[in-house]
A and B are shown apart, each in its own frame.
Chain A
């Protein structure tokens, strides 16, 4: 193997690596918008109940809608006043009361499955936005209280109305406790 061939081989490998690097750098700067960091920061303030009361499919889509100016910040009842004030501070807007059209704030709650009535139909599993319900077809279901956000989305699909909402235990990890105003 002569030195020229080695040189060409090196050149090709280095040129390919550099071309890929430039292409990736360009793609990263084009595809990833700067607004993404604002969406992340708004999302971090939202309660992550994924309840959809704001009429967006979850907290992150709502954050994206706030960032793009499509939705206002007064649509999040689970977050309550504290979230609203935090959002107003982040976005430098005047605080305002929650829009009652999207529901009223409630005390922290978690879903509870009444086992005598549950028939193991598994209909509530896909409804849960945080996968807090454990169960399978014809098996008893249960709710992982620490994961449940109390969003109530599992209530409508249940054919036997065996899901109740109870006050959230103090150990609840996920639950955003609305602080007193």
Chain B
């Protein structure tokens, strides 16, 4: 139990996928203009990450390893992630057309969110079991969502701030992201093993 808790803490805060591993920066910058869109993106990514890490573990453990096809993992995982993302898109479109419109192209682009593939590959590399994979995926998604929501709130404030001309837009957003990464370094050593 403690192991799982530490795993979750590590994946969501200490080794936050966005702010300390620099994975998934594309939606982090792209969908952080509006809070509603960011919240939808955070939920969709959390869903995709959890499902994809569970399924990729099953595929690895029960198909790839028995058939000695370990070298196919990147291809197979990407296929699987694309499938899960497509499923998520169908669900979002059916349940909330407004959110579907708000997320636009960024919903199918979760496929190329390297955090999702990163979690699947890390699960395999660290030889996580099924439960560990699910917890790792869910907490990585929660960490991504947390970073995205915090960043979006900051950017909404920045929109009305008096920023020097040369820094407006993307530059000040990147500076903000860097400062957030520094702040998240404060979690280093939390629950260290």
Give me the interface of A with B, judged by CB distance under 8 Å: 5, 8-9, 12-13, 16-17, 20, 23-24, 27-28, 31-33, 36, 60, 136, 139
Contacts and interface: CB of A to CB of B under 8 A. Distances in A.
B1 interface: no
For the complex of A and B, the 3 pairs showing the least CB-CB separation, nearest first, are A20-B83, A136-B160, A31-B94
Interface of A, secondary structure class, is: helix
A107 to B, nearest CB: 29
A23 B83 contact: yes
B152 to A, nearest CB: 15
29 contacts: A5-B68, A8-B67, A8-B69, A9-B72, A12-B64, A12-B72, A12-B76, A13-B76, A13-B79, A16-B59, A16-B79, A16-B80, A20-B80, A20-B82, A23-B83, A24-B83, A24-B86, A24-B87, A24-B90, A27-B87, A27-B90, A27-B91, A31-B90, A31-B91, A32-B90, A32-B93, A33-B94, A36-B94, A136-B159
A20 B82 CA distance: 9
Contacts of A31: 90-91, 94
Interface residues of B, number: 23
Given A8-B69, A12-B64, A31-B90, 16 more contacts: A5-B68, A9-B72, A12-B72, A13-B72, A13-B76, A13-B79, A16-B76, A20-B79, A20-B80, A20-B82, A20-B83, A23-B83, A27-B87, A32-B90, A32-B94, A36-B94
